[in-house]
Amino acid sequence: MTIYIVKKFPYFPMFDLSNYKVSRRIFCDTYFDISVIKQCETKEKFVAYVSLTSSDYFDRNATEIHKYYDKLLNIDHPCILRHVGRSDVDLSDRNFPTYISEYYGSGKTLDFVIEESNRPKNDDNERSEYSESSESDDDKSETDNDKNNTKSENDDEENNRKSENEEEEEEGKDEKSEDYESSEYSYSYYSEEEPPQYDNTARQIILTGIASGMKYFHSLGFIHRDLKPSKIFIDDDFYPKISGFEVCEVTSSYLSGEPMGNVVGSPLFIAPEVMKDVKYSEKSDVFSFAMIMYQVLTGCMEFYPDTPNTFRIVTEMVDGLRPNLDIQIKESFKNLIKRCWDTDPNNRPSFEEIFDLLSKDPQYLLDDVNQDAFKSFMEYLSQ
């Protein structure tokens, strides 16, 4: 049995964001604007979640919200992104409460990893939005080509641009080095000479890690409500960390586990009972996990490519519509997906059962999984 340590923090640390800048936007929806931010002097990175709900709401519900975030701050699990503080304003000094978490790996999220795996291997036109150093290399190359073809009409502007690109390139190299050297993931089986690929080993690690993190999260009485690939960070060894716990509307009814008064989350990942009756439970998160499993195992980012109308899809999902499972994946995983997205939440397994299946039952081990790499990951989970 794995024992998790819950760290005790005396208070929720306040961040002064006046000396931070946005390094890269990760995701933005109705509720949160999520970005990688960097301390201007130390270059230390964090992830900032800017609530798009005004501070007036937070003032009115301060007691409930502080209870929620005080508990959230104490969470400590290898597959959950650790929260480190908050600010009453965003980076533009507007009255939008901002929550700060650790920065993980290279900042890639699972949706990007899946999409990247679908791209042609030698497509030079595709460029990772997560690679800041590659951006500067491209810009620098473009500048050099321009200089070879024609002389710039404004030498000062060109020189400034080149200087900025070189600075970004050097900074990108430093960041790569820092990410690798300061990595706390010493349990990785892989070496520099054998970088991991997005294969069945990576898929097994990702799904098992998410299940482990959600098992722990549910044991504390939390419900995620917005579990999806864009809220799961992936490092270079494909070790996952779940984020997205910054619930826009936190009420006493949510804290007590009672039904919420509004729907939160991305429509295609929301359980049918939530769409129908706005009744969240741990099993609602299990439904979302089924959709994640489908994307991880198939590589298909579109659940219903023949039906572009989201409203129509959501309506049909309440009536039982699910993605096509007539695909080449292991039968045991097909059955697990079906159980997890069952219309009746009572028929869905718990994350405790899902984790046990993925980590212990040979039937739920994908083909050609590197046993040593997976064992290293399981040791990482138990640290």
Looking up tokens 């984790």 gives 355
Helix residue spans in the chain (DSSP H) = 55-60, 62-73, 110-118, 132-149, 155-181, 200-219, 252-255, 272-277, 282-298, 310-318, 331-340, 351-360, 371-381
Q: Is the pLDDT of residue 298 over 60?
A: yes
CA pair distance 253, 39, nearest whole angstrom: 37
**If we measure between CA atoms, which residue out of 80, 198, 108, 134 comes closest to residue 190?**
198
Q: Is the pLDDT of residue 306 over 50?
A: yes
DSSP for 265-329, written as a single string: S-GGGS-HHHHHH----HHHHHHHHHHHHHHHHH----S-TT---HHHHHHHHHTT------SSS
User: Per-residue pLDDT tens for 123-145?
Assistant: 544 444 444 433 334 444 444 44
Q: Is the pLDDT of residue 380 over 60?
A: yes
Contacts of 121 (CB under 8 A, 6+ apart): none
Determine the average pLDDT of the residues in 151-177: 47
pLDDT of amino acid 154? 47
Radius of gyration of the chain (CA): 22
Q: Is the pLDDT of residue 363 over 80?
A: yes
Identify the residue with better confidence: 109 or 123.
Answer: 109
CA pair distance 35, 28, nearest whole angstrom: 9
**If we measure between CA atoms, which residue out of 260, 326, 197, 131 comes closest to residue 271?**
260
Of 78-82, 183-187, 260-264, 348-352, the poorest mean pLDDT is in 183-187
Q: Give me the phi and psi of 128, to 5 degrees please.
A: -70, 125
User: Per-residue pLDDT tens for 197-214?
Assistant: 999 999 999 999 999 999
User: Per-residue pLDDT tens for 29-75?
Assistant: 766 788 999 999 999 999 898 887 665 665 666 666 666 666 777 78
Contact 171, 132 (CB under 8 A): yes
Token pair recorded at residue 215: 């098992």
pTM for the structure as a whole: 0.73
What's the chain's average pLDDT? 77
Q: How confident is the model at residue 246 (pLDDT cuts 50, 70, 90)?
A: low
